[in-house]
């Protein structure tokens, strides 16, 4: 007897080897050229920064028409407002000078590219402006706060806990005299809070915390931990606010009509 081999039905799922890989996104059809942009991603206000558009390094000779490139950066002055860029010239480079006038993220910063026979093309730029002062303030706090902490807990400026509580309570009673909850008890308070008085409660909390902190400073290495924590925060602040630069490449679509690619596009196209 001859054995019959069952043919796979059409409803059976194909094997893993038979499955085709998902198709990759096809590149845009038509002639195109590449440009490279170098710019400052994090800038300082009232400082001049360079934005450079250039031909990327390539083994193939560049080709393409002359396009107009216009930076659009909200909250900054750009000089010149736009320039021509020859895509067929090897080593072509143009430079814009950007002077931020505001701080924070600069929304929708971009380069507008006007190519013959093509709609407006945009190159997005992620830009923000930071003064960088936060890192200096954190560095100052790293020096001043541990020194104050030492002087007020185990140094020559040490306070008596009972004196601290009495002084704070008397001052709060004098400032909030006649004010319910803050300086006096308020019998109409709900949930059993009739005897709540901030001028009595807050001095006890502050005094107990000061006593705990003084005891920790004298027995443990808490001062060292505070300094290390502040140094780490200072470094992270510097990393987030330091001046950074970015380089990216972008594809510029060209017209399929050779006659349009040879035509000159004027400045101020809009």
pLDDT of 14 reads 52
Q: Which CATH superfamily is 32-131+243-261 part of?
A: Immunoglobulins (2.60.40.10)
Q: Say whether pLDDT at 109 is over 60.
A: yes
pLDDT tens sequence across 111-159: 999 998 889 999 999 999 999 999 999 999 999 999 998 898 888 888 8
* Residue that wins the pLDDT comparison between 124 and 248: 124
pLDDT of 248 reads 86
Q: Say whether pLDDT at 259 is over 60.
A: no
pLDDT of 192 reads 65
Distance CA 137, CA 25 (A): 48
By C-alpha distance, which of 167, 169, 196, 192 is closest to 181? 196
Q: So where are the chain's domains?
A: 32-131+243-261, 133-240
pLDDT tens sequence across 189-246: 676 666 777 888 899 999 999 998 888 888 768 888 889 999 999 999 999 989 899 9
| Cα atoms in the Cβ-side hemisphere of radius 13 Å centred on 177 | 5
Q: Say whether pLDDT at 50 is over 70.
A: yes
Q: Answer for the pair 158, 152: CB distance below 8 angstroms, yes or no.
A: yes
Q: What is the pTM of this model?
A: 0.68
- pLDDT bracket for residue 26 (50, 70, 90): very low
Q: Cα-Cα-Cα-Cα dihedral of 95, 109, 237, 152, to 10°?
A: 120
Distances (CA, A) of 218 to 35, 36, 227: 63, 59, 16
Q: Say whether pLDDT at 270 is over 50.
A: no
Q: Two tokens at 157?
A: 């400026």
């Amino acid at each position: 007897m001859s054995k019959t081999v069952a043919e796979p039905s059409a409803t059976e799922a194909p094997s893993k080897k038979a499955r085709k890989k998902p198709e990759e996104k096809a590149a845009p059809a038509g002639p195109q050229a590449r440009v490279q942009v170098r710019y400052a991603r994090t800038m300082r206000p009232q400082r001049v920064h360079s934005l450079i558009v250039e031909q990327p390094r390539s083994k193939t000779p560049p080709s393409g028409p002359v396009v107009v490139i216009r930076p659009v950066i909200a909250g900054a002055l750009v000089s010149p407002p736009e320039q021509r860029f020859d895509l067929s010239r090897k080593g072509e480079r143009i430079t814009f000078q950007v002077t931020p006038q505001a701080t924070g993220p600069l929304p929708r910063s971009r380069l507008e590219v006007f190519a013959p026979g093509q709609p407006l093309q945009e190159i997005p730029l992620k830009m923000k402006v930071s003064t960088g002062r936060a890192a200096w303030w954190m560095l100052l706090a790293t020096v001043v706060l541990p020194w104050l902490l030492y002087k007020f807990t185990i140094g020559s400026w040490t306070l008596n806990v009972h004196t601290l509580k009495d002084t704070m309570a008397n001052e709060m009673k004098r400032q909030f005299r006649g004010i319910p909850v803050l300086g006096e008890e308020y019998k109409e308070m709900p949930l059993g809070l009739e005897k709540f008085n901030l001028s009595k409660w807050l001095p006890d909390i502050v005094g107990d915390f000061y006593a705990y902190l003084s005891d920790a400073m004298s027995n443990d290495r808490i001062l060292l931990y505070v300094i290390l924590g502040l140094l780490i925060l200072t470094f992270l602040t510097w990393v987030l606010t330091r001046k950074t630069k970015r380089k990216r490449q972008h594809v510029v679509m060209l017209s399929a009509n050779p006659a349009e690619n040879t035509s000159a596009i004027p400045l101020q196209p809009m």
